[in-house]
Structure 1
């Protein structure tokens, strides 16, 4: 069975990546529409590497009636205005924004982790895609949680500027060039200089001193994986164009050795274990860019707790953190649900 698919926000980084992933994975598309804001209307985007150019349609006039799936990659404001309209028209919305993630009537899905939760999509005809840093983390945690029950997670992220959109990537490029030629550097989208620097601040600050990005990681991990898991996150923006990295420390209820953890991760879906204890025997964001896997390296035991593991987790945030996960949700939806409707 083939589906009529609309990609909303098709001209942005994630929207373009969604089109690429749909093409690469040969998603059964009967018809595809590229939808974006009025300012992009009439421009063209390529459908993967098929050579097919799609003329962008104006979301303000787009009728979702008769469309099967809408992949939203346009932010919370657009989702607030149009996702509910699309869902009411009978189109299943897979939304990449944070708007619906904590809604109890909207499933928050990572297919390798909680595929069964997708059945709740019928409550609102909406499925939420998690935060980019959460998606790769729970892929790594799930098989270990199944094996030894996670009690506590402490994670520090190293998040690329593409997580802040095209503007973030442009700012890193422009600041780097300015520094090389001796021009002054003025922060725009970021709170401080991002070139040759790191910024321990993503999204707004909350009353408890954490940032909203950190809160998202904690709340979403609990919803997707297990509400009993205790967690602390520190989210940092780093001068990398694509690819989020995470240093993860995990405490378990049951004993788990590093060797056993490596064995489990080696066989886990969506994970590529690259863990050689030698120079270069690990994965960095540069190697992950353009790839679909969640890479795990530096697996070792933590001697400060009775049963603990530390590891390094890297993934292309535009893929598993956004576009790929959304398409995997659409694949799961098509296999298990839409064909039965």
Structure 2
């Protein structure tokens, strides 16, 4: 018997990607239900060769639902995830609401799959921030080998991380530049077309942005609380795919060749690192792919036991939708949940 899956936020970028990935991976679902707010009721979304009509979250009965993929933002998750969990479904939440809750596992299956077993406390599992997910996939095998002390990250994050309106704004502004039309800025604090913006999420008292704070705190929770990490997160005029320039300081010696070999054999990683023009991956190539791509691996002579690398991934997939579905697969494969008996 297959599982019943509810998807909250089915009309958004990540929600639609979740539907695609459920179909691509032949997820063992007998039924998939698309949910959103009342204003989206009746909207049609694609699930493989099927078309689903969106239903209203507000009056949906979750009593026979096994898994709920939550991708509707923090406010919705804060209100609804505990209710859905109390009804017996396991909620896999894509917002930041539950990530730092000590009773909620924060999971990247290639890194800390064992943590999924902790879902029983609240029936909620948190998906990490998109920029964190790809980073820890790359860091984990290297940490196992040489123990990471400190990480310095500069991100180059695509506009899709800020939603469909952000993608529309980049498109409209780019068109406006070429046609000498009025350039309208709504979603971002400054124009994004032909520009970069060193501000993602709100500023905090210490001068870091919330996005940077998320990377610091989530990496510690997922990988190791002893790791020191500092980040500068930058929005760039790219539609899909986050890139990161990563500097790592280790406790033990590790060469670039050793790191290359370790990462080639690591789950979720794909090394493309040729020392020639174009011998690396850019966000354009990562779009629509599942892997975390790693390029430009080299030794950092400015610190003892230092490495530098370039890390790229599709933020809508590994950074959000794919990771959530991998968590659901983990629950099933480890026999931590079973499908409820549905009414005839």
TM-score normalised per structure 2: 0.97
CA distance in 1, matches of 2:207, 2:185: 23
1:259 is matched with 257
Question: Residue 187 of structure 1: SS of its match in structure 2?
Answer: coil
1:4 is matched with 4
1:123 is matched with 121
CA distance in 2, matches of 1:212, 1:145: 25
Q: Which moved more, 1:181-190 or 1:111-120?
A: 181-190
275, 287, 290: which one aligns with 2:288: 290
Q: Deviations over 1:300-341 (max 9, x none)?
A: 000011101100000000000000000000000111111399
CA distance in 1, matches of 2:141, 2:339: 30
Does 2:171 align with 1:173? yes
Q: Deviations over 1:20-40 (max 9, x none)?
A: 001000000011100011111
Unmatched tracts of structure 2, length 5 or more = none
Question: Residue 243 of structure 2: SS of its match in structure 1?
Answer: strand
CA contact (8 A) 2:44 2:52 kept: yes
1:197 is matched with 195
Q: Which moved more, 1:89-98 or 1:36-45?
A: 36-45
How much does 1:271 deviate?
Answer: 0.5
329, 332, 335: which one aligns with 1:331: 329
102, 105, 108: which one aligns with 2:106: 108
Q: Deviations over 1:116-164 (max 9, x none)?
A: 1111100000000000000000000000000000000000000000000
62, 67, 70: which one aligns with 1:69: 67
1:247 is matched with 245
CA distance in 2, matches of 1:310, 1:236: 18
94, 98, 101: which one aligns with 2:92: 94
Does 2:228 align with 1:219? no
How much does 1:258 deviate?
Answer: 0.2
Aligned length: 339
30, 42, 51: which one aligns with 1:53: 51
293, 316, 319: which one aligns with 2:317: 319
How much does 1:194 deviate?
Answer: 0.1
Question: Residue 138 of structure 1: SS of its match in structure 2?
Answer: helix
CA distance in 2, matches of 1:2, 1:146: 36
CA distance in 2, matches of 1:186, 1:331: 43
TM-score normalised per structure 1: 0.98
Extract structure 1 runs of 4+ deviating beyond 2 A.
none
Unmatched tracts of structure 1, length 5 or more = none
Q: Deviations over 1:243-296 (max 9, x none)?
A: 000000000000000000000000000001000000110000000000000000
CA distance in 1, matches of 2:78, 2:148: 35
CA distance in 2, matches of 1:58, 1:306: 56
CA distance in 1, matches of 2:42, 2:338: 33
Question: Residue 58 of structure 2: SS of its match in structure 1?
Answer: helix
Does 2:160 align with 1:162? yes
1:304 is matched with 302
